[in-house]
Structure 1
Amino acid sequence: MPKFGNTLPKMDDVFKSHPKPEVMKDLIAAHRLRAIDILQNVMPAKILEITDLIKQEENPSSPFYKGQIFELSYTKPKLSQPATGDAYQGAEVTSLTDKPVLPVDISALSIADAPEVGGVRMGQHWFEVVKVNENQMKCNEIVFRELEEIHMLAQDLKVWLEMEIPVVEDGNSFGADVQTHLISQLADAYKKSNTMQNGVRAHHGDRLKLATDWAKYPNFEDYAAAIANSDRFDHFLIRSFLRSILQLYAGLLTKFERNWSKVINPKGTHETGGMY
């Protein structure tokens, strides 16, 4: 026998009585203020900021300088083997003519006898190091921050706009269709920001894979060129992302401005409960 017998709970009065009626009112009020700030202040400021970053491609002191790809960090990555003995300090393996270096006090140990130094067990293994591309790290940090910001701004606008959609009914729905289109554009913006973030993250994964293989086969000199080409592509990609971010900001702001009357008054009336 069903728990409620022949009687089922009625749903008619679900929205006639709210235990906390202020929750949705406070939420939409807060997000309206947030939306006003984003559209009036934040987005125009971000457009100026991204435009300035793109202009830095002509500035030799900027990490975004397009000539960075001709600097040593982008043209000649090196596989190094740090050593503990003074005789080996600064030794690097950069070509077939260089003699590989193993610290004597490490290579002479067997795995069984290996002591722990600073929590790391010493033994018969290599200590190949490929230094990070510091300039690319600076670029990545800046663009990562910009991508996180546009993602959150788009999310905040989407939360607000979802609450402004009017009652669904037949006829006179053009304004609501505009709102729905803008919601779709906001969702597309933060999805694109996620895709670009994955592109930025791939920089480290690509170098890790190449450097790991290089450490396994140090006499194969193509790895240095592969890392150099990968870094140069990443620098091009990060500059391209700046333009994509600018496009997202400018496109969203333009769409909101040109369709603003439909956004805030989708039914073409002045009913209480509209945005203004």
Structure 2
Amino acid sequence: MPKFGSTLPKMDEVFMAHPRPEVLKDLVASRRLRAIDILQNLIPAKITTVQAIIDQEEDPSSPFYKGQVFEVAYTDPKILQPSELIASDAHPKGEGELGSEKLILPQDITKPGPNDGEGVRMGPHWFEVVRVNPVQVKCMEIVTRELEDLHMLAQDLKVWLELEIPVVEDGNSFGADVQAHLISQLTDAYKKSNSMQNGVRAHHGDRLKLAMDWAKYPNFKDFAGAIATSDRFDHFLLRSYLRSILTLYGGLLTKFERNWGKVINPKGSHETGGMY
């Protein structure tokens, strides 16, 4: 650390001698263009898209069909054993195929051993396979993409709005308060997006825990029902998330539109120069 003695650097002229004034100006310009595109085009398009996905709940061909939870993928999870595994010399490294799915088997259970007469064993139990729920995975892909888009659009609007906050001064601050409220709403939107994404991610983790216990206690028949119930709840959860996404988009667009005058002219000066 340099030693200045009793003389300290002065700060009052920091922004009077701004070395790169164009940086902030260019950032505001680019963020305004992005905000215009989001508010005029992207959010309205997202509202239409999400509403169309929700409408698919009445379409039996859609993964979001509300009757999917009564189909085999949700009602009849199975634990599969090595006797159902098609292995051949084409998979020398312990690879095998189950239907059209490629599986990797540990080396020690693919080698000849004293228990070959009983079947291939790994430790105290068989090598179990529980298939993923393909319908749920498809739903997760769609909802995750929508949640990621929501997060980024909300953050982009927040970046722009933070740059438009006027000089802080006493009185006449209602418009600035509106801006602060909208910034809070945007922050809340992408935080909710993150929370919902964690909910989506939990699907595989929940199934993994249930399947691990099922492998330990294969005769405990409640595990199939537990996985089926978990999958059914996750399908319901994703459909609920779509409604939350629609609510967030609709709420944000409504608040911006109804308060637009205060957003772009928070001081009510009706001036066209400067930042506004």
TM-score by length of 1: 0.86
State the alpha-carbon separation in 2 of the partners of residues 264 and 167 from structure 1. 13
Closer/same/farther in 2, CA of residues 219 and 108 from structure 1, 3 Å limit: farther
SS in 2 for 1:152: helix
| CA drift at 1:108 | 4.8
Q: 1:124 aligns with which of 122, 125, 129?
A: 122
Question: Could you tell me the percent identity over the aligned residues?
Answer: 72
Cα RMSD after superposing both structures? 2.2
Deviation string, structure 1 residues 163-185 (Cα, Å, up to 9, x no partner)? 10000000100000000000000
| CA drift at 1:124 | 3.1
State the alpha-carbon separation in 1 of the partners of residues 223 and 122 from structure 2. 24
Partner of 1:162: 162
Partner of 2:136: 136
| CA drift at 1:271 | 5.4
State the alpha-carbon separation in 1 of the partners of residues 229 and 187 from structure 2. 34
Partner of 1:109: 113
Partner of 1:113: none
Contact 1:81 1:129 (8 Å CA) reproduced: yes
State the alpha-carbon separation in 1 of the partners of residues 216 and 4 from structure 2. 70
Equivalences for residues 27-66 of structure 1 within 5 A: 27-66=27-66
SS in 2 for 1:26: helix
Partner of 1:211: 211
Partner of 1:274: 275
State the alpha-carbon separation in 2 of the partners of residues 3 and 179 from structure 1. 43
| CA drift at 1:274 | 3.3
- Is 1:201 the counterpart of 2:205 in the alignment? no
State the alpha-carbon separation in 2 of the partners of residues 163 and 273 from structure 1. 13
SS in 2 for 1:60: coil
SS in 2 for 1:204: helix
SS in 2 for 1:132: coil
Structure 2: 5+ residue stretches without partners = 89-96, 100-108, 115-119
Partner of 1:99: none
TM-score by length of 2: 0.86
Structure 1: 5+ residue stretches without partners = 92-104, 111-121
The one-letter code matched in structure 1 to 2:241 is: F
Closer/same/farther in 2, CA of residues 214 and 29 from structure 1, 3 Å limit: same
The one-letter code matched in structure 1 to 2:113 is: L
State the alpha-carbon separation in 1 of the partners of residues 186 and 87 from structure 2. 58
Aligned pairs, how many? Answer: 250
- Is 1:153 the counterpart of 2:157 in the alignment? no
